[in-house]
Structure 1
Amino acid sequence: MAQQMLRNRMPLPSFEESVPLMITFAPNWPIRTVFFRVIGTALVIGAAAMWLLPGSDASAETALMKLGVSLFFFFSGLALLMLHHQDNQPDAYFDPIRRELRVLQKNNRGRPQTILRRSYDSLGSVRFNEHYLEISDVDGTILMRLPIDSTEIRHALRMQLSGLVNISA
């Protein structure tokens, strides 16, 4: 019985035939990213400008308050600048050997950690567009939308997923 199951299984593709692909997620709201970067830059520059521009007086109480406000501006600006940084975005890893899609997110130590693992059989459909790939669940809800920058990646993904996942036009 076990030998019959092994014979009926589809052969696994070799690494030479299909290469694993990794695509980085893009922020959902690019205008919000630009807005946060502008505000973050203004806060960091404002923290430094507070000390460079001439002030009203240089008393100890005012200097202490200036220090607190400038530190608050500096760290708030850094937080806004790093909010949608490219290193914070998860990666989608398409594995042709295991026939699965994994979403990897860097943990606190900077190492990739799997946060989602779906086999190609459990995916509903895939839709390719000029600029992105849309992966849907079996019930039709969109699982993820990934940006695709080159036609080579689009072609490699289409070849990897064809026959395993329903590709809609």
Structure 2
Amino acid sequence: MTAPHVSLTDPTHSSFLPPPDSVRSPITGWTRAHWEAMADRLLDGLLPYASRESAQYRLPGRPGHAGSWSDGLEGYARSFLLAACRIAGSGGRVPPELIERYAAGLAAGTDPEGAERWPPIADRAQPMVEAASIAIALHETRPWIWDRLDDAVRQRVAAWLGGFV
């Protein structure tokens, strides 16, 4: 079975996208504003699945091989990559809630006593994959997230990432 074809100019998507710009983008009509709007839409779509402190995103469906604890971390880490691209790509000119959500998730996920703590990183375990995503996202968002974290949170993040070989 093949996936249905989705046109970039499909009118069902037009309610949240700017009008196409065939001058700047003659093939698709999509500009940076379109991609930013799509990223915002995807990130906002995750909100119903966020844990109370935003350290985990638990999407519906059967748990993965590593279990729902790891799945929650995966939801955070992989969406943080998109958020990082959105934040860094706009020079931090995003709704402050986006930055706050991922900063709060870092604080809660790396709290070893917290209810939303992330699984420890072990050799060849799923959290190792997610740690790489988080490290990249932190690098990209340094002025907007890392540099603004409390020192205690930065130490916890470093300690959690320290499990990465």
The answer to whether the superposition gives a TM-score over 0.5 is: no
TM-score by length of 1: 0.26
More helix by share: 2
User: Which structure: greater strand fraction?
Assistant: 1
Q: Which structure has the bigger radius of gyration?
A: 1
**TM-score scaled by length of structure 2:** 0.26
